[in-house]
Structure 1
Amino acid sequence: MTDCGCDKAKQDLEEYLHNELCNEDAADIREHLEHCADCNHEAHMGVVLTEVVQRACKETAPEVLRAQVLLKIRELQAHSV
């Protein structure tokens, strides 16, 4: 393993965070993150952002709002035919 440097770490950070890199590349980035506070901070922000988006995708609209939206869609479809 070798420290891949900031440019490579930042370029591949998203793939790294999503476990989409080969083992060797992931190990190089992991090593870099252990020694670079700036890149480690950026990786942490990426993790937080990913978690927030994942939570938001699990939320559902209140039933009343869902019903209103579906009713409006049906009305628009009926007028466009």
Structure 2
Amino acid sequence: MTDCGCDKAKAELEEYLHRELSDEAFRDVTEHLENCEDCTGEHLVGITMTVKMQKACREKAPEELRNAILSRLTEV
């Protein structure tokens, strides 16, 4: 394991959440999170925000609004 302190773990948290780190870096951050309450809290906030954003991106506009926008676009 390489040295993975709070600064490194927090700097790589976004990539960690999306599994965009190398295997070694991912293991380092995972191990750090297992032993650091502060970083674990940051991780939980990141997970919550990621889930909320994913949910928000799945929502669709009401059909009436969608049709009005498409109609307006064809007019332009």
What do the CA deviations read for 1:14-36 (whole angstroms, capped 9, x no partner)? 00110011111111101111111
Q: CA deviation at 1:12?
A: 0.5
Using the alignment, how far apart are the partners of 2:54 and 2:10 within structure 1?
22
The code of the aligned residue for 2:72 comes to K
C-alpha distance in 2 between matches for 1:45 and 1:72: 40
User: When the two structures are aligned, how many residues end up with a matched partner?
Assistant: 76
Q: Once superposed, which parts of structure 1, at least 4 consecutive aligned residues long, lie more than 6 Å away?
A: none
Q: Which string of whole-angstrom CA distances, capped at 9 and with x for unpartnered residues, describes residues 15-64 of structure 1?
A: 01100111111111011111111110111111111111111111111101
Identity of aligned residues (%): 54
1:72 equivalenced with 2:69 (yes/no): no
- Which has the greater radius of gyration? 1
**TM-score w.r.t. length of structure 1:** 0.84
Q: For 1:21-60, what aligned pairs fall within 5 Å after superposition? A: 21-60=21-60
Structure 1 unaligned blocks of 5 or more: none
Distance 2:39 2:19 in 1: 17
With normalisation by structure 2, the TM-score equals 0.89
The CA RMSD measured in Å over matched residues stands at 1.3
Indicate the residue corresponding to 1:5 in structure 2. 5
